[in-house]
Amino acid sequence: MSITVIGAGAFGTALAISIGESATLWCRDETHAAEMIDHAENQRRLPGAPLPSGLTVTADLSKACQPDIILLAVPTQKLRSFLTENAALMTHKKLVACCKGIERSSGLGPIGVIEDCVPDTQAAILTGPSFAADIARGLPTALTLACRNEETGKTLQAALTTRNMRLYRTTDTIGAELGGALKNVIAIACGAVMGAKLGESARAALMTRGFAEMQRMALALGAQAETLVGLSGFGDLALTCSSALSRNYQLGLALGSRDNFDPSITVEGAATARAVEMQAQSLGIDMPVTQTVVALLDQRLTIEDAAAQLLTRPLKEE
Ligand SMILES: NC(=O)C1=CN([C@@H]2O[C@H](COP(=O)(O)OP(=O)(O)OC[C@H]3O[C@@H](n4cnc5c(N)ncnc54)[C@H](O)[C@@H]3O)[C@@H](O)[C@H]2O)C=CC1
Ligand SMILES: O=C(CO)COP(=O)(O)O
């Protein structure tokens, strides 16, 4: 079955590599597309990962959008502008969000954004613990494919499972979206703890209390508890909070150690933290770790003050 991947970033390229010769990889920049074809590699975004010989790389969007299944691997905050501009090409397709975040302007997850921009579509999300570099190297990974329509979910699960990506299926799109979005915020917090050398015990505490607030928010918005303890929630939280390969964790490390961080790097958790903080406030949900991350990002709090603030909150039951 032919499949198109929109977005020749690290993740889109890795997905296209794993899908192999039935994949078309669309890149918005013609020069970049030509470079990828010449070098059989995406040297800008995923160096060291050869593109399989049958993989089609193109900058021609109408050519790329022929297949019925389209994977959208652009950052969450860019998804709306891409879809708004190109909605006509996306209508009646099966659109699979391959991004993790909450849109800052609307508070919607990727599926909500897709449904807003392309009403005649069946939207799904592919999420879970998986670094682009691991997928591209053929290392084993397991992800969640969430789609409200069970039949479409089964079709996508079968079409997108590859020899190194094992897909589990759920109809709980809210849980899958929120798990992937919220874990990035907690990963920033964990990176900050490690960057400030506050210790692994502190990181484990933050991961656990961060997971508690992920669950509070997700359940309040209608997610199923089982989804949060699955690959898209706990699974991705564990990966992202413990690996220096994660860009969200790297941003946290930089905040904690007061180092500079390249603002061009895709870090979904920063915008998501702000979107989630606002939503939590309006819903009356207690999310102290997320609030602290926003304060650190805005430089309203030092890491030392942040730790002191979290440690001196009123004592409570677990
Ligand atoms: N890199 C990774 O290991 C993983 C990334 N993801 C998710 O994948 C999503 C994308 O991340 P990466 O590929 O890593 O980022 P990236 O920064 O490597 O690539 C982003 C891509 O989106 C394209 N893009 C940006 N704005 C666009 C627009 N308006 N229209 C069309 N294309 C646009 C860029 O040209 C670039 O090719 C994020 O939501 C991330 O959380 C998920 C799992 C693993
Ligand atoms: O989502 C990811 C792994 O599952 C990638 O995390 P980063 O976006 O923090 O690099």
C-beta 45 within 6 A of ligand 1 = yes
Q: Is 150 exposed, middle or buried (0-12, 13-18, 19+ CB in 10 A)?
A: exposed
Q: Whose CA is nearest to atom 8 of ligand 2?
A: 247
Asked if ipTM goes beyond 0.90, one says yes
Chain segment 188-222, per-residue pLDDT in tens: 999 999 999 999 999 999 999 999 999 999 999 99
CA of 19 to the centre of ligand 1 (A): 17
Contact 129, 241 (CB under 8 A): no
Please tell me the number of the ligand nearest to residue 246's CA. Answer: 2
The single-letter DSSP state of residue 26 is E
Residue 234's SS3 state is helix
- Residue 48's pLDDT is 97
- Residue 97's pLDDT is 98
Q: Which helix (H) or strand (E) holds 87?
A: helix 76-90
**Domain 174-312 class in CATH:** mainly alpha
- Residue 1's pLDDT is 81
CA of 267 to the centre of ligand 1 (A): 9
- Residue 190's pLDDT is 98
HSE, CB side, 13 Å, CA atoms: give it for residue 150.
0
CATH 3.40.50.720 placement within the chain: 3-171
Query: Phi-psi region for residue 124, left (φ > 0), alpha (ψ -120 to 50) or beta?
Result: beta
Chain segment 112-163, per-residue pLDDT in tens: 999 999 989 999 999 999 999 999 999 999 999 999 999 999 999 999 999 9
Tokens of 208: 């656990």
Which residues contact residue 169 at a Cβ distance below 8 angstroms, ignoring those fewer than 6 apart?
A: 144, 145, 146, 147, 153, 154, 157
Which residues contact residue 93 at a Cβ distance below 8 angstroms, ignoring those fewer than 6 apart?
A: 65, 67, 68, 69, 70, 118, 121
Please tell me the number of the ligand nearest to residue 136's CA. Answer: 1
C-beta 26 within 6 A of ligand 1 = no
- Residue 105's pLDDT is 96
Q: Which ranges of the chain have pLDDT less than 70? A: none
**Beta-strand runs (E) in the chain:** 3-6, 23-26, 56-58, 69-72, 94-97, 122-127, 141-147, 165-170
Tally the residues of the chain: 318
Q: Which helix (H) or strand (E) holds 94?
A: strand 94-97
CA of 282 to the centre of ligand 1 (A): 29
C-beta 271 within 6 A of ligand 1 = no
C-beta 127 within 6 A of ligand 1 = no
Q: What are the phi and psi torsion angles at 123 (to 5°)?
A: -95, 145
CATH 1.10.1040.10 placement within the chain: 174-312
pTM: 0.98
- Residue 256's pLDDT is 96
Q: Whose CA is nearest to atom 20 of ligand 1?
A: 9
154 is catalytic: no
Please tell me the number of the ligand nearest to residue 232's CA. Answer: 2
Q: What is the CATH number of domain 3-171?
A: 3.40.50.720
CA of 240 to the centre of ligand 2 (A): 6
Distance CA 22, CA 3 (A): 6
Calculate helix-pair angle for 288-297, 303-311, nearest 10 degrees. 160
Bridge-based pairing state of the strands 69-72 and 56-58: unpaired
